[in-house]
């Protein structure tokens, strides 16, 4: 049996000087007080855009004092505005681009004018940060795609589950009213059976748009099933949610889809549940679903409010 040996190449850990050099380099990197190196090290710890902008703000503040930093970017349908501090009359603005792609805009302001050296330092800090910000933007876009329904372009069931969990946490902590509306298109199976899935898909997109126009900017719309939609309404009582649900019914009833010789119309039923104390997302959803079932059983094209427990 022959044994192959490559001279001059030591195994990892055999050279004590090599290990010492690694330890020294690691210590120097971790303890580096240079703000540019610090920024690069900190930004590499997260892919969350909000956290990156906060880390950039903290690190830049050490080098160039300022009163306010604002970051704006549009990722898909989501407009992000991240603001730290209170502004002043003097400002500098930067468009963040890399390889021809835009990754938002940043505005930095304060009460005193910026010196040229300070502007240069800000630009150098942005040069360090831009690739990290790009990665975070791309990650946010991927996350948004995973949470978006491909047909209607509104958030999907996974997004709804996350929204309900978050709403329960906030409601429990701050004793605030959160109300859930579950909606279901009436006799939608007949639409697919009689007119085909192309017309059915067109109708679903039209319904999503109609519901979106019927709810408020603070409300969140989701598609969580085939012909089922949900709306989460923060700071909203049952009575106010009922007004929104009726507006949804009216908007959907106005939809007309041309099918050649005739126009296709549709109605929608709704169930409403305001979250109760200590209620889990599953329990909350179940009560709204029970109210929706009663609306269907009562003849459809109507709204019912969930029974309270306890």
Which tokens sit at 233? 């309404």
CA 276 – CA 291 distance, rounded (Å): 15
Residues annotated as catalytic (active site), given as ranges: 227
Helices (runs of H) and strands (runs of E) counted in the chain: 9, 11
Helix (H, G, I), strand (E, B) or coil at 85: strand
Q: Can you name the residues that pair with 102 across neighbouring β-strands?
A: 97
Contacts of 88 (CB under 8 A, 6+ apart): 66, 67, 68, 109, 110, 111, 112
Q: Helices 35-43 and 16-30, interaxial angle, to 10°? A: 100
Block residue for tokens 């939608």: 188
Q: Give the number of other Cβ atoms within 10 Å of residue 100's Cβ.
A: 5
CA 180 – CA 257 distance, rounded (Å): 28
């Amino acid at each position: 049996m022959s044994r192959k040996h490559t001279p001059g190449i030591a195994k990892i850990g055999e050279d004590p000087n090599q290990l010492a050099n690694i330890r020294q380099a690691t210590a120097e990197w971790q303890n580096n007080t240079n703000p540019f190196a610090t920024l690069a090290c900190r930004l590499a710890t997260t892919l969350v855009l909000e956290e990156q902008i906060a880390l950039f703000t903290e690190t830049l503040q050490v080098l160039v004092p300022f009163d306010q930093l604002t970051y704006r970017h549009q990722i898909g349908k989501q407009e992000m505005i991240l603001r730290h501090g209170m502004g002043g009359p003097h400002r500098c603005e930067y468009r963040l681009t890399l390889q021809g792609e835009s990754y938002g805009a940043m505005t930095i302001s304060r009460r005193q004018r910026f010196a040229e050296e300070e502007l240069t330092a800000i630009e150098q800090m942005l040069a360090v940060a831009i690739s990290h910000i790009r990665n975070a933007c791309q990650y946010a876009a991927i996350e948004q795609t995973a949470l978006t329904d491909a047909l209607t372009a509104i958030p999907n069931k996974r997004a709804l589950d996350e929204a309900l969990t978050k709403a329960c946490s906030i409601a429990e902590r701050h004793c605030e009213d959160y109300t859930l509306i579950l909606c279901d298109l009436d006799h939608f199976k007949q639409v697919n059976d009689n007119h085909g899935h192309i017309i059915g898909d067109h109708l679903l997109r039209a319904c999503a748009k109609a519901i979106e126009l019927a709810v408020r900017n603070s409300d969140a719309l989701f598609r969580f099933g085939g012909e089922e939609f949900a709306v989460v309404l923060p700071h909203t009582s049952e009575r106010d949610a009922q007004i929104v649900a009726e507006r949804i019914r009216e908007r959907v009833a106005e939809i007309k889809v041309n099918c050649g010789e005739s126009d296709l119309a549709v109605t929608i039923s709704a169930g409403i549940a305001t979250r109760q104390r200590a209620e889990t997302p599953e329990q909350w959803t179940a009560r709204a679903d029970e109210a929706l079932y009663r609306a269907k059983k009562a003849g459809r094209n109507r709204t019912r409010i969930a029974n309270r427990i306890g």
